[in-house]
Structure formats: structure tokens, C-alpha cells
Structure 1
């Protein structure tokens, strides 16, 4: 029979995979979403601490992750009855995040145009991916549509600030080269 530590370690690896599948690229983003400290998440994923039922329940409810799969490794991550994700069966948080993709893309385009910065399509896609991950990390599990829209406005301010800083650094580099 496996020891608790062996079971925790295996479940921790599956928790990390489930976190990633649920759209949280980092332990930090996940810790914000579930309102736990990042080191605590790290300990769960390393198998140092037992994963609490409340976290497993949240993953099942919010992201359709099969709790049995995390605990035992049997079945698949999204359960035996898993239906491929479509608009009709996405978790509510995921649906709202997807709904923010187009407004975020338009916001990026608008800011770059307004500041006279040209980007290629590949650069634009990279910017969208980076700022989308940033936005997703800022959104809490209880945020509603209005709160997500406010976070989007904050992202716009951050994009402008980043572009201004890059422009200032570029102009000071040119002056020092003279």
C-alpha cells in the first residue's frame, strides 16, 4: 500500500496539470483565483501537503476537473462524461474570460494606433497572449462581468504606461548616442 506522502506527491503532479488545464499558467495566478498563498499551492503540487477538499471541489465546480482523477489518477482529468468544450458547456468564469478576448484585442490595437506604434500580426498575437494572461491572473473567482471590465480598463492603463516607458527609454538612448 502506498504511503500518504507518495499519494500526495502523485496527486500534486495531477493538481499542477489540472491547474494548467483550467487556464492558470502559474501557481501565482492560481493562488489569486483560489485565495490561497502561492507557497501553499506549491506545497500541494510538490506533494508536501495534502490537497484540501475545498480546493478539489472548487476545481470540479468551476472547471469540470474530475476529483477522482486528481486523487487516484484513474479516468481522465475531465471525467468519463467529458464533452469537448463548447459555448454551451464552458464554466462561467471561462466564458467571461473568452468574452474579454475581443475587447482586449481591440484595446491593444487602439492604444498602439493612438501612440503611433506599428506592430506585425505576430507581434499583435504575442501582445494579446501576454496581456490576456495578465488579465486572467488579476480576475478573482467571484468577479462578475462589471469587475472584469474594470480590470480590462486597468490593463489599458498598464499598456499605455509600458509603451510610454519604452518610448522614453528609446529617446534617452538616442540622446546618449549623440
Structure 2
């Protein structure tokens, strides 16, 4: 059983811990490795026993998209509006297959036969759209509830594109 983590002694330490928790609460050692620091160093930062230097703050910003102003002061949003979370995440392969199949079916419904790479790209785009509306992508019930909405938006976008003259996306039928 994992040893419980001590409460942060400073607001900065709490915010540093909040980032890891917001990213799915990965194991501290794994998270520290992604940041390029030791597990103990991360623990010191999260407990508020040490203050990270500018290099570490820059890593949080560049790798994770964390708003440095928020990290330092608590003001603003946790993640940069433009960047969002940039950390590599584990994707659910089964969900990606479902999205691929959904995209292929939508293309079929609108009478288009795109190359497989286009279907794969649109499946990834659908995943990203889902991630905007579903806070926890491992919550299958929320994913299942949101998927029809983002799929319908994709279908409508294809239909609008097919109606526009000169787009080359009209159905051949």
C-alpha cells in the first residue's frame, strides 16, 4: 500500500501537487521522470519544503502547458488557454477504434470515401473534441454521453463542406 502524501506547507506546493492531480494523479516517480527531476525533488516541491527555480517553472509551462502566473501566484487558470495540457497521455486504444469506426460510418453516411489516413486523422480530432467536453476520458459513461454530440458536429461539418461550391468534397452520386 502506498504511503499517504503529506499536506503541502505552502500554497505553491499545493498548486504544484494540484497540477499532477489534474493530470490524472500519476505516480509521483513517473511524473517526476517526465519532468526530468527526481521523485524526491518533486516531493519537496509538492510539500512546499523547496521552491522550484525558473527552469522548473519553464518545464511545467513547456511540457504541460501550465500557466506560470497561476503556478507562482494562484491567479488565472491552471493551464494556458492556447496551449492546454501538452503532456503525453496514454490513449485508450479501444476508444480510438470506436472513434475510427464512427468516423468511417459518418463518411459513408455522407457519401464520401476518404483514404484511411484521413479517417484516422478525423478520429484523433474527434478524440480531441471529446476531451474538451469530458473532464475524465476514463469515465466511460461521460464519453458515451458526449460522443453522439461531437460525432454530429463532425457530420454537420462534412455536410456543410459538401454543399460549398468548389470544395471538391461533393458526393459523386
More helix by share: 1
| Bigger relative contact order (CA 8 A; separation at least 6) | 1
Query: TM-score under structure 1 normalisation?
Result: 0.47
